[in-house]
Amino acid sequence: MTFPNDLTALIETTKGFMPAHEGMALYENAKEFFTGGVGVEIGSYCGKSTLYLGQAARETNSHLVTIDHHRGSEEHQIGWEYHDLELADDHGVIDTFAVLRATIAQSKLTNSISAIVGRSATIAKWWSKELDLVFIDGSHTEESARTDYESWSPFIRTGGALIIHDVFPDPNAGGQAPYLIYKMAIDSNNFVETFALDSLRVLRRI
Ligand code: SAH
Ligand code: MG
């Protein structure tokens, strides 16, 4: 199965922070780890990375659950670097949920993706299902990234994947929180790195 052209077109017009080459790598890696189970994405935003993961889920008869409170991360808030006026209401409150729904509706992936609106840690509290993969691309504060890692990595099955975006070993290249949890995972001796491309890292649970 080749990556559908109409999906490529939809991804191009979907707002977000997943460069196409990293997105394709995300898709290829996710296909290897999906075995008919469930994968979780932290940080849906408008659905750009969701489409790559959702297509991988579809091709493997798996399912993607994408999680976001849809109020944006720190850098999306008013006055910050990545604030997008189109995603905020008159009071400056961000809501990306409607956009995510529209993105999923326009894709052919509605049977392969479920969206949950809420805080990652809150959802992890009641979650119990073993996971084929977890993709962490949420808030980049140290506390939030660590919480995402600590609350979701225990659900990854042996042989499953922890995938992290925005990992920058060089502090001059970007924020350090994703790199910190990447190191935590390696240092735990529960994960080995199987793939790296730019800021994308794939770790297999051993
Ligand atoms: N994966 C997206 C980008 C995600 S941006 C893409 O490829 O385009 C990060 C997202 O994480 C934001 O939408 C923000 O609302 C969400 N987020 C931040 N902290 C969160 C938390 N604690 N729980 C759930 N979502 C969170
Ligand atoms: Mg990212």
Atom of ligand 1 nearest to the CA of 72: 15
State the distance from the centre of ligand 1 to the C-alpha of 95, rounded, in angstroms: 11
Handedness of CA 163, 164, 165, 167 (dihedral sign): negative
State the distance from the centre of ligand 2 to the C-alpha of 165, rounded, in angstroms: 5
Residue 1's pLDDT is: 62
Neighbours of ion ligand 2 (CB under 5 A): 17, 137, 165-166
Instruction: Identify each DSSP E strand in the chain by its residue range.
Output: 38-42, 63-68, 113-117, 131-136, 156-164, 191-197, 200-205
Residue 197's pLDDT is: 98
Model pLDDT for residues 130-143, shown as the tens digit of each residue: 999 999 999 999 99
Atom of ligand 1 nearest to the CA of 148: 22
CA 131/CA 147 separation, integer angstroms:
17
State which residues of the chain have pLDDT below 70.
1
Model pLDDT for residues 104-131, shown as the tens digit of each residue: 999 999 999 999 999 999 999 999 999 9
pTM for the whole thing?
0.98
